[in-house]
Amino acid sequence: MPSLTPAPLAVAMFLPDLADRPDHRSAVDLAHDLLSAGVAVDVVAPMGGGPLRAALNPAVGQIDLAKRHAATSALALARVMAERQPALLALHREVAWVGRLALWLARSNARLVVLEGDAAADFAAIRAAAPRWG
């Protein structure tokens, strides 16, 4: 018998790398805030290594695309979007074009949210863009 409880909201966050920069640290804080709110979160990066990898809560999914640069990650990101089917794709403005291309390639209906680097404002933007919350 299928479950009557809806699946939790799923969000994929695409970061160009996991370097210790203020905007990336804000994205890690945002991932933790979303996780605390009951949202399933996957952090997707071209290369999974970096100083911020250790800062991620083990409950946050970590997906390494095995690519050298964000610019070459569109097809791999599209594969992740097609397989995981998150409701939202959150990413930084610098890689927004990669996200748009990945969503198009995956034929995904996921909504795109551009992160501004402020965890509170980005949380509000994701909450506003979410098709359902909770």
The structural domain count of the chain equals: 1
Question: Which two tokens mark 16?
Answer: 């160009």
Q: Is residue 4 part of a domain?
A: no
Given a contact cutoff of 8 angstroms between Cβ atoms, the answer to whether 30 and 123 are in contact is: yes
Given this model, what pLDDT does residue 63 score?
A: 92
DSSP-derived letter for residue 131 is S
Q: What is the CATH number of the domain that holds 101?
A: 3.40.50.2000
pLDDT above 70 covers a percentage of the chain that reads 93
What's the whole-model pTM score?
0.88
Band the pLDDT of 48: cuts 50, 70, 90.
Answer: confident
CB crowding 95-129: b at 16 or more within 10 Å, else e:
bbebbeebbeebebebbbbebebebeebbebbeee
Q: Is residue 47 part of a domain?
A: yes
Report the candidate in 4, 16, 74 with the shortest Cα–Cα distance to residue 47: 16
Q: Is residue 90 part of a domain?
A: yes
Q: Is residue 3 part of a domain?
A: no
Measured distance CA(22)–CA(38) in Å, rounded? 25
Q: Answer yes or no: is pLDDT of 8 > 60.
A: yes
DSSP-derived letter for residue 110 is P
Q: Is residue 108 part of a domain?
A: yes
Taking residues 13-23, what's their average pLDDT? 89
* Beta strands 111-115 and 40-45, pairing class: unpaired
Given a contact cutoff of 8 angstroms between Cβ atoms, the answer to whether 44 and 18 are in contact is: no
Given this model, what pLDDT does residue 84 score?
A: 94
Instruction: For the chain, give the mean pLDDT.
Output: 89
Residue 110 domain boundaries? 10-129
Band the pLDDT of 104: cuts 50, 70, 90.
Answer: very high
Taking residues 5-21, what's their average pLDDT? 84
